[in-house]
């Protein structure tokens, strides 16, 4: 890589260990606030889905039992959490494996892909319902 004068521009590899995603920081902060009404376990599972959701709108190809075992929950506790997160559209059903529903994080919260792909993805989904939060106006993030 060179600058406009033909000089080499130093580069460095990303320090990421793998995939990374674009995350809506305001929505994540709103989810983690006490006023959201989400429990610590529910907030933890939002974080897990941000980290586990693959590129695009593909679902996480894991059963509830596998996820529960990985995160140290009972399958019943995880099922209750998943139901609430899906009801609030924090996670979205994007596939099925037989009768097993497969989910991923809402593309409004986190997305791995180009901006154009994310814009296309959000067209297919309603925004998440985060209690106590209202989307910012046209000015966007104000550093709060």
Q: Of 35, 36, 14, which Cα lies nearest the Cα of 109? A: 36
Architecture of the domain spanning 22-123 = Orthogonal Bundle (1.10)
Q: Are 31 and 41 in contact (CB under 8 A)?
A: no
Q: How far apart are CA 22 and CA 6, in angstroms?
A: 32
Structure confidence at residue 21 as a pLDDT band (50, 70, 90): confident
Tokens representing 114 are 């180009």
Torsion, Cα of 103, 107, 113, 114 (10° steps): 160
Q: Work out the burial of residue 85: count CB atoms within 10 Å of its CB; fewer than 13 is exposed, 13-18 middle, 19 or more buried.
A: buried
The pTM assigned to this predicted structure is 0.82
* pLDDT single digits (tens) 114-137: 888 999 999 989 999 999 988 876
Tokens 């995603």 identify what position? 21
Looking at the chain, the whole-number percentage of residues with pLDDT higher than 70 is 90
Yes or no: say if 100 and 90 are a contact pair by the CB < 8 Å rule: no
SS3 31: helix
Interval 37-59 mean pLDDT: 96
Q: What share of the chain is helix, strand, coil (3-state, %, to 5)?
A: 40, 15, 50
So what's the pLDDT on residue 135? Answer: 80
What letter would DSSP give residue 128?
P
Q: What ranges do the domains of the chain cover?
A: 22-123
């Amino acid at each position: 890589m060179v600058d406009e004068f033909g000089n080499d521009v130093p580069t460095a590899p990303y320090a990421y260990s793998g995939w990374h995603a674009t995350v809506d920081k305001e929505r994540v902060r709103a989810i983690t606030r006490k006023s959201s009404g989400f429990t610590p376990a529910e907030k933890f599972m939002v974080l897990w889905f941000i980290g586990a959701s693959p590129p695009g709108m593909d679902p996480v190809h894991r059963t509830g039992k596998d996820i529960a075992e990985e995160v140290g929950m009972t399958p019943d506790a995880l099922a209750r959490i998943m139901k609430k997160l899906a009801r609030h559209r924090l996670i979205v059903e994007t596939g099925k494996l037989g009768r097993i529903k497969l989910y991923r994080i809402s593309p409004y919260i986190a997305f791995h892909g180009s901006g154009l792909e994310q814009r296309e993805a959000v067209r297919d989904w309603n925004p998440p319902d985060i209690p106590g939060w209202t989307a910012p106006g046209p000015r966007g993030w104000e550093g709060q």
